[in-house]
Structure 1
Amino acid sequence: MASAPTATVGIDTIAVINNAISARMLAEAMVRDGVDPARMAVISARRLNLDWLDGCAIHVAYPAKPRQSLLGQWPFVSFYRRASRLIEGLLAAGGIRRIYVVNVENLLTNHLALKAKSDPRIEVVLLVEGIFNFQEIERRNRAAWRWAVKPALARLLGLRWQTPEGHLSGAFEPTIHRVVSFTDIGLKAPQDKVDIVAWQPVAPAVPADDGTLLVVHTGLWQWMDADAYLHVARSFVQWVEARGFRRIIVKHHPHVGPGALEDMLPAHETWDVTASMEDLAAEVPAATVAGTCCTALVTLKLLRPDLRCVDVGADFYCDTAYHGDHSVEHLLAGAGVEIVPIGALDGTRP
């Protein structure tokens, strides 16, 4: 990936992205907004393998897979120092007119949103990053140590910080002018800010086999205790086994390990690719795609309406992992994803 030079002359746009979906929303927003990549600085807040980022004036790349513990943040301090120095240099130069961010819970995006408040010339655009933007994700959904540590870290890095209130995307903050999304189904954002860049369906490049299942892993296990997640995993496996698929393919999450489900699945093969599910939509060899609380179920159904996309366990994980917030079911159902409740598998619900 390209390094981050110190020269900031001519750069008028800053973007912070964190996954393949926000990167895709950025690329499409850039076309719509007439943004020249040669005049844009991009900071990747997650590790992204996207060649087009090297065509930007500056790209500060995330160094490794993210870690969820407090001590695990230490290897990323140098990345945040480098990115914060870049941001301060760009803002001090006075030429920034547009900022794209993915949310306001990150140290860098929080600082950018706060700094933009004092400069009416800067438009702040929120990029949708996934299911996060369609759920009621607030401070209670994050580990308490993060809110205790971030003010001190921000000071050490020379950044401003304001602990977010309400939805962690920041969509409802006055600082955010637009919210760029691939759909408005259940989107947590003021309607007058929503800017839809609809994704057009793609034609299949390979036959979708009715006897093949594609399992899309998620990081859901991070948000619930081990026993609760095992209940979800066992129910998922029960659903899979009852359907008698001849072939099972697994696609890992790009940033998070698969959790216990990986070893519990029947015999399967791994789709060993680094591309996003959205970029692979035409290549999906399975007629059925299943997962638990996975954005790819929605995006694949929008890109490939012919596929059967199935979410297993929303009735349980919405209560256990998301404090009773069932709003993700609105997105799943609205996009045409089939929702299989755990209660229908264990006999507690018809």
Structure 2
Amino acid sequence: MLVCALEKDGIEPEDVVVISARKINDPWLDKFGYHLAYPAKPRQTLLGQWPFISFYRSAARLIREAINARELSHVYIVNIENLLTNHLLLMTAERQDVEVALVVEGIFNFQEITPRNRARWRWVVKPSLARLLGLRWHTPVGHLSGAFEPGICRVVSFTEIGLKAPADKVDVLAWQPVRPSVVPDPRALVVVHTGLWQWMDQDAYLHVARAFVRWVERENFTRIIVKHHPHVGPGALEEMLPPHETWDTRASMENLASEVPAVTVAGTCCTALVTLKMLRPDLRCIDVGADFYCEAAYHGDHSVEHLLMGAGVEVVSIGRPG
């Protein structure tokens, strides 16, 4: 999405400074003028944030230099809940000549994700931590993407279906379908893992995982290929699946769209199901459990179902436990 936005805005990669908010191993990052890499996989506990202190200090200095640069014309952020993106939005308020765009990062932007969806300790600790790091901080009060913030001029997305953003800000940069470079096997399944297990209790997640396995077994696939999430572990589902192989790649599913070796791709609350259906309309993309995980993980917000079904993804209901 960032690459598409840069191309539309006529900005060359060598003129861009990138600060990663996640550990991303992708060769395309080498094309940019400077890349400050996130040092490790993100951690969800308070004490787990300690190893990242030096990274945030370096990022704060880099942001200060960038904001003071006369040549700065565009800023692209992915949300306002991260210490750095929150600080960046506040800093750019002093530069009326700079356009701030929000780059859609995934399903998150199509759900009603607000502070209640995050651990309370984050909102207690972040103001003090921001001051310690020399960062400005404003606790978000609405959607954590920041799409409704007055400082955000534009929301760059691959679709407007169900997008949580003011209509007059939305800038859809639609992806064109790609041709398959391999013949997909109609009896094979690609499972795309997600980090959904982080947002619900163990019993609830196990209900989703067991239902997913039952669906896989009913479909009677002859080959199962697992694609891991690039940033988080697979949760309990990995060990519960029938015998399978791993698609050993760090590339995103979007970049692998032409190479998908199966007709069917399935997951739970996964952006790739939507983007793959757009890039490869010939694929059968399946979401398992939205009726339940929307209740268990997202406080009853069923917004994601509008995106999934609007994009042509099949939604398999699993009901409640028992």
TM-score (norm 1): 0.90
Q: Look up the equivalent residue of 2:248 and give its one-letter code.
A: D
The Cα shift of 1:93 comes to: 3.4
User: What is residue 124 of structure 1 aligned with on the other side?
Assistant: 100
Structure 1 residue 56, shift from structure 2 partner: 2.0
Task: Quote how far apart the aligned CAs of 1:26 are.
Answer: 0.9
Q: Deviations over 1:281-334 (max 9, x none)?
A: 111111111110000110110111001000010000000000000000000000
SS in structure 2 opposite 1:330? helix
Partner of 2:221: 245
Amino acid of the structure 2 residue aligned with 1:206: V
- Separation of aligned partners in 1, 2:31 and 2:222: 43
Deviation at 1:47, TM superposition (A): 1.3
Task: Report SS of the residue matched to 1:84.
Answer: helix
Q: How does 1:101-116 map to 2 (within 5 A)?
A: 101-116=77-92
1:204-224 Cα shifts (integer Å, max 9, x gaps): 111111110110000000000
SS of corresponding position for 1:179? strand
Match of 1:309 among 266, 282, 285: 285
SS in 1 for 2:276: helix
CA contact (8 A) 2:188 2:223 kept: yes
What is the percent sequence identity of the aligned residues?
71
Aligned to 1:170: 146
What is the Cα deviation at residue 119 of structure 1? Answer: 1.9
Q: Identify unmatched segments of 5+ residues in structure 1.
A: 1-24
Separation in structure 2 between the aligned mates of residue 50 and residue 87 of structure 1, nearest angstrom: 22
Q: How does 1:225-240 map to 2 (within 5 A)?
A: 225-240=201-216
For 1:134 and 1:31, locate their aligned partners in 2 and report how far apart those are by CA, in whole Å: 24
- The CA deviation at 1:51 is 2.1
Aligned mate of 2:117, from 113, 134, 141 = 141
In 1, the alpha carbon distance for the partners of 2:157 and 2:114 equals: 19
Aligned length: 322
Give me the whole-angstrom Cα distance separating, in 1, the residues matched to 2:106 and 2:31.
25
- Out of 57, 66, 71, the residue aligned to residue 33 of structure 2 is 57
Letter of the aligned partner of 2:102 in structure 1? L
| Alpha-carbon offset, residue 39 of structure 1 | 2.1
- Where 1:176 maps in the other structure, the secondary structure is coil
Match of 1:342 in 2: 318
Alpha-carbon shift at residue 237 of structure 1 (Å)? 0.5
Matched, 1:152 2:128: yes
Distance in 1, matches of 2:66 and 2:155, equals 23
What do the CA deviations read for 1:33-52 (whole angstroms, capped 9, x no partner)? 01122222110111112223
> Which whole-Å CA distance do the structure 1 matches of 2:240 and 2:13 have between them?
45
Q: Give the Cα–Cα distance (whole angstroms) in 2 for the partners of residues 48 and 31 of structure 1.
A: 21
Aligned match of 1:297? 273
Q: Are 1:82 and 2:52 counterparts?
A: no
Please tell me the root mean square deviation across aligned C-alpha atoms, in Å. 1.2
Q: Which runs of 5+ in 2 are unaligned?
A: none
Q: Give distance in 2, aligned partners of 1:219 and 1:266.
A: 20
1:265-296 per-residue CA deviation (whole Å, 9 max, x = no partner) reads: 01111111111000001111111111100001
Cα offset, 1:90, TM superposition = 1.9
Q: Which residue of 2 aligns with 1:21?
A: none
Residue 39 of structure 2: SS of its match in structure 1? coil
* 2:67–2:92 CA contact under 8 A, matched in 1: no
Offset at residue 97 of structure 1 (A): 1.8
Q: Distance in 1 between matches of 2:92 and 2:117?
A: 26
Could you tell me how far apart the structure 2 residues matched to 1:52 and 1:214 are?
Answer: 25
